[in-house]
Amino acid sequence: MKIAQQWRFAFPLIVAVLVALFAIFFDTAHSIVDIWNNFETFTHGYIIVPISLWLIWQQRGVLAQTVPRPSWLGLLGLASAVFVWLLGNLSGAQVVTHYALVAMILATVWALLGWSVMRPIRFPLLFLLLAVPFGDVFIGPLMNQTADFTVAALQLTGIPVFREGNTLTIPTGVWSVVEACSGVRYLIASVTLGIIYAYLTYRSKWRQLLFVAASIVVPVFANGARAYMIVMIGHLSGMKYAVGIDHLIYGWVFFGFVMLILFWVGSFWREDAQPAKTVQSDHPVVVSPVASWHFLAFAIVAVALLDSGSLYSRLVTRTMAQQPPVVLSEPVIPGWQRTEAFNDWHPGFKNPAAEQMLYLQRNNLRAGLYIGYYRNQSQNSELITYGNELARPGGDKWRRLKESALTLPIDQLTVSQDVLAQGDERMLGWYWYWTGDRFTTNSYVAKAYLAVNRLLMRPDDSAVIAVFAPYVERPDEVTATLQQLVQDALPAVRQQLESARRQ
């Protein structure tokens, strides 16, 4: 059988299965596009798919000489990708479902067409991973890095600076390093451009990897330099320039200049004038035929695998929806009495099934206890998600000045410790998660527990527990107060949570 004859049957079949894939996982694909639409950081996703298709088209000559053959290993990869999607969907880890969707596309091509077809187009297919909206996890560290760089540069310049969290005070004004200053947009754009440039310009792997590494490192330090120069422009102009829309315009102009320099330097080692290595076909032009029913059988199995993940997810969702509403009883904490609120703080945990805020007093000690309880978790109501913190990122009231981890001498409990501020008010907060019968501060561990429980159709009950207290000058003023509250409240809180779960 000629190669062309096999392609005439295999090509429409792979298209049909990919259409079925997007129909089955329409909600996941739609959520990706929705993020592209609503978050400027990820609008680059719209150009990834056309670029990938164009790169595949460039390999059409090689593909025409390559024999499509279904692969059992590809089916195994598809089953694995579906299982990962299922875990991500059950735990509410949206980014996992997004990456799993792209992995399913790759595995489908591999399963129906074989590795000999995958080889020449593996880069264009892997390039689709860049369409996944990912990068929020880097915002906090990048904000801290930008603030560190700016403070160090100002001090080297001889300008006195006082830093409180990511707020910088200099003699001429106050600057805040917010999410837009993190440089995550520059980093994502630089990495995307760097990867495609390295692929098209270089032939040797080490040059490709070196340029991609440069496209990661350069924008991080360039963003620090950008932030420093913006502060200096504002400082030297008496806060007349670089404090409004010109701030953003200047940032993108500076980024464009940095990228121009990066590509110009990279062009000195370009290898695109050399002919690209041709991926040879694993089979001659005339080959033993692959029966049509063979392709069709693999296509049917592939669609069955895809649909099995979606069907099981819907079954779990229906089962979880039958759980009753949550009722939280008030814990009885020995030695502590209810008192009036001492501030207007409320944690940034969104849409719990039930929550409880208690302001407490013991002699001259004041502190608070918050419990946010989650059940039948969904995309709009889940314990572990971006923004679920004591002070929500980008909030217009309380902000986080410092974060750290602390292990208490109480059941070796580890808590996340946040120093919070609003105007002249200061507060120290500790929080940790409860999933089933376990306490943890690790969001990944909490997500894993949630995924396993839902996979086994167990209740997905989870909670966040927080204690907090106001201070005047130093956070350690109230460390003993919070430790005393945790020691006194922990048995009652355990009993309260277990009682709510058994409802």
Which residues lie across from 420 on neighbouring strands? 400, 427
| Domain membership flag for residue 278 | no
Predicted pLDDT of residue 289: 62
Q: Are 203 and 274 in contact (CB under 8 A)?
A: yes
pTM attached to this predicted model: 0.85
> Which band of pLDDT confidence, cut at 50, 70 and 90, is reported for residue 10?
confident
- Tell me, yes or no, whether 194 and 222 share the same domain: yes
Range of 255's domain? 136-269
Kindly report which listed range (141-155, 224-238, 263-277, 353-367) carries the lowest average pLDDT score.
263-277
Predicted pLDDT of residue 274: 60
pLDDT 10s digits, 190-230:
999 999 999 999 988 999 999 999 999 999 998 888 888 88
Predicted pLDDT of residue 283: 45
pLDDT at 359 over 70: yes
pLDDT 10s digits, 393-443:
666 688 888 889 999 988 889 999 999 998 889 999 999 999 877 899 998
Predicted pLDDT of residue 279: 45
- Tell me, yes or no, whether 295 and 264 share the same domain: no
- Tell me, yes or no, whether 359 and 259 share the same domain: no
CA distance linking residue 215 with residue 187, whole number of Å: 8
- Tell me, yes or no, whether 356 and 315 share the same domain: no
Domain boundary residue among 235, 269, 303?
269
State the average pLDDT over residues 28-55: 92
- Tell me, yes or no, whether 342 and 489 share the same domain: yes
State the average pLDDT over residues 358-374: 94
- Tell me, yes or no, whether 17 and 84 share the same domain: yes
> Which band of pLDDT confidence, cut at 50, 70 and 90, is reported for residue 281?
very low
| Domain membership flag for residue 282 | no
Predicted pLDDT of residue 16: 95
Number of folded domains in the chain?
3
DSSP string spanning 123-139?
Answer: HHHHHGGGGS---GGGH
Predicted pLDDT of residue 282: 46
- Tell me, yes or no, whether 261 and 141 share the same domain: yes
Q: Which of 300, 292, 227, 215 is nearest to 261 (CA)?
A: 215
Predicted pLDDT of residue 284: 45
Q: Which residue has the tokens 């909030």?
A: 395
- Tell me, yes or no, whether 57 and 152 share the same domain: no
Predicted pLDDT of residue 173: 84
Q: Which of 126, 131, 108 is nearest to 32 (CA)?
A: 131
- Tell me, yes or no, whether 71 and 141 share the same domain: no
| Domain membership flag for residue 284 | no
- Tell me, yes or no, whether 262 and 409 share the same domain: no
| Domain membership flag for residue 274 | no
pLDDT 10s digits, 378-392:
888 899 888 888 987
- Tell me, yes or no, whether 467 and 359 share the same domain: yes
- Tell me, yes or no, whether 13 and 110 share the same domain: yes
State the average pLDDT over residues 293-311: 92
